[in-house]
Amino acid sequence: DAGVTQSPTHLIKTRGQHVTLRCSPISGHKSVSWYQQVLGQGPQFIFQYYEKEERGRGNFPDRFSARQFPNYSSELNVNALLLGDSALYLCASSLGAGGYGYTFGSGTRLTVV
């Protein structure tokens, strides 16, 4: 069975640009969460989506947005990129909204120059 897949694996963007990151959850999982991990820190929660509805939002600016599609895949969008947005973006898949444990993808490494 395929695990959580994220694309792209790496990308480089210029300040002010927009980026879209994609995630496909494990088959049968209906919840997708997004996390940002900067070097040397633990991952920070950005969003959780369950059954296509936003169920949680972390302390991130409105430049960050996300959505979940009918097939439960998800996109994370970041507008007006800043140098500080450079990080590893992790997607996590879960059976339900909470309490089931999470499976993470390999992440997307975003570098903003």
Partner 1 sequence: KQEVTQIPAALSVPEGENLVLNCSFTDSAIYNLQWFRQDPGKGLTSLLLIQSSQREQTSGRLNASLDKSSGRSTLYIAASQPGDSATYLCAVDDSGAGSYQLTFGKGTKLSVIP
Residue numbers of the site for partner 1 (CB under 8 A)?
A: 6, 33, 35, 40-45, 48, 50, 55-56, 58, 88, 90, 92, 97-99, 101-107, 109
Give the up-direction half-sphere exposure of residue 56: CA atoms within 13 A in the CB hemisphere: 14
Cβ-based nearer residue to partner 1, 54 or 61? 54
| Local structure of 10: helix, strand or coil | strand
Reduced to 3 DSSP states, what percent helix, strand and coil does the chain have, rounded to the nearest 5?
Answer: 5, 50, 45
User: Whole-angstrom Cα distance, residue 78 to residue 111?
Assistant: 13
Cβ-based nearer residue to partner 1, 13 or 88? 88
Cβ-based nearer residue to partner 1, 75 or 95? 95
C-beta of 78: minimal distance to partner 1 in Å? Answer: 19
C-beta of 86: minimal distance to partner 1 in Å? Answer: 13
